[in-house]
Amino acid sequence: MFNLGNLLRTRAIALIIGALAPRSDAAIINVTPSDNYTKIEAAQAGDEVVIAPGTYRFRVHLTGQGSALNPIKIRALDPNNKPVWDFSATLVENAPGSYSAGDRGRGGWQVSGGANYHISGIVIMGCQTASKNSAGLRYYNGTTGLEVSDCIFRANDNGVTGGTQDSDAVFEFCEFDANGNLGATAATHNLYIYGGTFALRYSYVHDSVQAENFHIRCHTSYLEYNWFARARNYEGDLMTNDDFSGPGPFTQTMVIRGNVFIQSSNPGNHSQVLVIFNDGGLANENMSMQIIGNTYIGNGIQGNGGGAAFVHLSNADHTTMSAVVSNNVISGTTLPILIEDALNGTVQGTNNWLKTGVTPGGLTASIFSAAPGFQNALGFDYTLASGSAAIGAAAALTPGFAPTREYFQNQTVTRQFRTRSTAQDPGALESSTTGVGIGPYGAQPLPILTTQLAGGNVMLAWPLTSSGFVLEQVGTLDGTAAWSAIPGLYPNSAAGFGISLPQPSDSAFYRLAKP
């Protein structure tokens, strides 16, 4: 009879993290400011486009089909001297480029139905179109496997736009700076994602010009370990997915974990910070947020009042909405929760720090004191100092939900993370965590793998670390029956990654490889 304990003791499964071999005929494509878009757009699966420092003014339109094992990589030759796409001298639609359709001005870079592009070390700025809805980067038409790292999006109509029902994109170690257009009739944002699955991690998102720092319509989204600051309107929201239609039912979820939020001193909308709103009026819609281990600095902490609802369920239309709000530091506001229709909206959560006298609004086991006790709020160090009533007061959460990392360090040292020592403190920063930050080119910690027997299946699982891992069978101990798992790219979930494998008749070696 199969016994997992015996298997682990006597024939332990070999789990190896490594890189799979690239395509043997892959090309290195060098691009300089004297080139145009042709070389970049011609890259195929496994190719690596290396871009020299300098200023570039042509549009880029990407439709290539990389794979999980052989992505199309586009990177800076020198990440410390990034190539800059600067469109500030013209409307994007008037810049040189191969794409000639009417929406060519919608992004300085556009990924249309592309697959497995990995883009890093690029600056895109000054993207504006006559209709005032351009973006530094736009992805659409079912783009999948898009990974963007160490890129800066500055002073565009929108920093990034895109996303369709089946798309997936991960942005890490990026900066979104002062995107938006005050002349636009429709709202413009640092981030405007229409649908699909989207993740943002270890990024600095700040000073939106017109509206929100993030405006998300995805069916599934993750905002983790970021620093959000001074949105012109309010910080961000979850609104109706652009691709939903028909009778439903429909579900949209957003995980907001381990982030720092700093409210503007004079936001355009003083009433809210994080919002759920069915602005499309879609019937049979269910919308939810999980808001775990964040630190919010409302402008009331500087003595400017502070009545903005940290979490607002805007469901006067009776849309079903819910939020879990636990282990957060919610400072500088007198209103942690606002629900418009309590019959169809629920908020639950525990062990949040609130200022003495603030009504918790259904949150339980709140920690109250006169001030959260930050190390140095004026210096943007929101770590809890010795003596803070909140230290050690976080609730124990289901594994996979507590923060495992934290943003490092502030608004000067940006776009890094470090492993969080524990999750015993409420808020985004653990008082006992030490060490330097890890940036986009630093050695990433390996995931901690666990194995357990679930019914007739063996479950291999590890914490959320990237956009996915590849499972590949590489042999058996004795050459007999192998496990019948199918190699491929398996996505993460809110609680981490897991893949169920049929129970083996004998043990087998598998390799887990980061693509």
- pLDDT confidence of residue 469: 46
At residue 454, does pLDDT exceed 90?
A: no
Q: What are phi and psi of 5, to 5 degrees?
A: -60, -45
d(CA 221, CA 238): 9
At residue 276, does pLDDT exceed 50?
A: yes
Contacts of 16 (CB under 8 A, 6+ apart): 511, 512, 513
| Model pLDDT for residues 392-434, shown as the tens digit of each residue | 999 998 767 889 999 999 999 999 999 999 999 999 999 999 9
- pLDDT confidence of residue 323: 98
H helices of 43-149, in order, are none
At residue 39, does pLDDT exceed 80?
A: yes
- Structurally, at CATH architecture level, domain 4-14+446-513 sits in Sandwich (2.60)
Q: Which amino acid is at 144?
A: T
pTM for the whole structure:
0.86
At residue 362, does pLDDT exceed 80?
A: yes
Q: 489 or 204: which carries more pLDDT confidence?
A: 204
At residue 14, does pLDDT exceed 70?
A: no
| Model pLDDT for residues 159-189, shown as the tens digit of each residue | 999 999 889 999 999 999 999 999 999 999 9
- pLDDT confidence of residue 401: 83
d(CA 57, CA 85): 6
Domain regions of the chain by residue span: 4-14+446-513, 32-185
User: Topology of domain 32-185, per CATH?
Assistant: Pectate Lyase C-like (2.160.20)
Contacts of 476 (CB under 8 A, 6+ apart): 482, 506, 507, 508, 509
Contacts of 59 (CB under 8 A, 6+ apart): 37, 92, 95, 96, 97, 98, 99, 104, 107, 108, 109, 110
| Model pLDDT for residues 40-83, shown as the tens digit of each residue | 999 999 999 999 999 999 999 999 999 988 999 999 999 999 99
Residue 375 pLDDT grade (very low, low, confident, very high; cuts 50, 70, 90): very high
- pLDDT confidence of residue 447: 55
- pLDDT confidence of residue 24: 64
Residue 444 pLDDT grade (very low, low, confident, very high; cuts 50, 70, 90): confident
Residue 303 pLDDT grade (very low, low, confident, very high; cuts 50, 70, 90): very low
Contacts of 207 (CB under 8 A, 6+ apart): 177, 178, 229, 230, 231, 232
| Model pLDDT for residues 218-231, shown as the tens digit of each residue | 999 999 999 999 99
Q: Which two tokens stand for residue 162?
A: 């895109």
- pLDDT confidence of residue 455: 53
d(CA 336, CA 315): 17
Please tell me what DSSP assigns to residue 7: H
